[in-house]
A and B are shown apart, each in its own frame.
Chain A
């Protein structure tokens, strides 16, 4: 195949990549969106729970990819006491349970309809550099190698991101910065379609067990375990199997799908751009360290990334200085919350079951206008002042 030239090259057609491609194309750039697989969105590696308040901002209209619209979340303490929170008090952390492969396909369609070219079965094998500047990528399409030269390159290649590493950006994760995740899609379980459920404590060290309903007795039952707390191989599976065994409603269910993956739970990375290159989504470690959700942040950053990419292409200036508009733009939107949630997560991963029980108990019946760290700590302090001693930094 002949070498190609484009304005904007987006590597990876997950949500962040497709949204980036869409906005870059809408702003007049010539865009190539690469996907290494033959099918966008598959295989699914996702719990499939997303919030929804952010969707209009990035021009996503709910479609057939919505499985269930949930009313709220239920947080289960280790002693199974439940804290029910509605969408408003959860800060919009709940919303839809989605069919992730259909969702990704829709976003790719949106990108294509905006004018982006989509190339499947096309894997990046390296980046092209010219005097320290990234000027495109080496790729293989159906095994055939060629080069794509671009004014701006975007790495949207997910948790496994190679692009950031090739460019020397600081995306490496420590053991404490990652959860090892495993999920079964189960049928015949007694899940309640009104709620996304979260189980805290030593059932999932440094993470949680989730049950996200997909309707008709089907639910995603999954676990994340902080890698630094893993002591022996396959512990994510061991913990998940044990949790299911101890919950009869789920022990009766039948598994029809197994999904695994890594989720970053780190503080915001120090740098997401270099001359000619921007990282977006999971590749830029934008996942919320508390919820483990990455789609909203990836799409919100993708919009900014696409706009900045189009502008850089238009002015033929993709210098580090020009791309700071993206670095600053996504940080203004996301960084404070990412950092705050990372701090809170660092504390949460160390809590004992007894403390989790007290926290959930203290929050019973408390009217929380907005469920944030400060409000939670205040409520806990009123009932169990001794518990909040270790949290004084947050108050």
Chain B
């Protein structure tokens, strides 16, 4: 089941540059950027993979 997989947004600053590319492209509007913290609503997220592609630095993974 694809939607059982975990979406992992690395927002501890090791990879994420808080650019908001994922926020703007998310078709369900379930990713939130608050200064230097990125979160997503896992109840809404369908693990569609779009944000993984949009992230310029590879800080989002579906595991």
Contacts and interface: CB of A to CB of B under 8 A. Distances in A.
B16 to A, nearest CB: 9
Contact of A165 (B29, B50, B53, B59): B29
A360 interface: no
A165 B44 CA distance: 15
Given A261-B20, A262-B25, A237 B56 contact: yes
Given A172-B27, A233-B52, A262 B21 contact: yes
B13 interface: no
B17 interface: yes
B24 A234 contact: no
A142 B35 CA distance: 13
A348 interface: no
Contact of B24 (A43, A173, A236, A259): A173
Contacts of B20: 45, 158-160, 261-262
B45 interface: no
B56 A234 contact: yes
A233 B60 contact: yes
B24 A37 contact: no
Interface in A159-176: 159-162, 165, 172-173, 175
A43 B33 CA distance: 13
B19 interface: yes
Contact of B21 (A43, A233, A258, A260): A260
B57 A236 contact: yes
B19 A227 contact: no
B24, B27, B55, B59: most-surrounded residue (chain A CB, <10 A): B24
A261 B21 CA distance: 5
Contacts of A162: 29
Contacts of A230: 53-54
A126 to B, nearest CB: 12
Give the size category of B's interface with A: 20 to 34
Contact of B61 (A37, A43, A227, A233): A233
A275 B15 CA distance: 41
Interface in A231-245: 233-234, 236-237
A178 interface: yes
B54 to A, nearest CB: 5
A390 to B, nearest CB: 27
Contacts of A260: 17, 19, 21, 56-57
Contacts of A165: 29
A343 to B, nearest CB: 22
A50 B24 CA distance: 23
A37 B20 CA distance: 14
A178 B54 contact: yes
A181 interface: yes
B20, B29, B55, B59: most-surrounded residue (chain A CB, <10 A): B55
A159 B18 CA distance: 13
B53 A227 contact: yes
Interface in A347-392: none
9 contacts: A45-B20, A158-B20, A175-B50, A178-B25, A237-B56, A237-B58, A259-B19, A261-B20, A264-B24
Closest 5 CB pairs of A and B: A234-B58, A260-B19, A236-B56, A233-B58, A262-B21
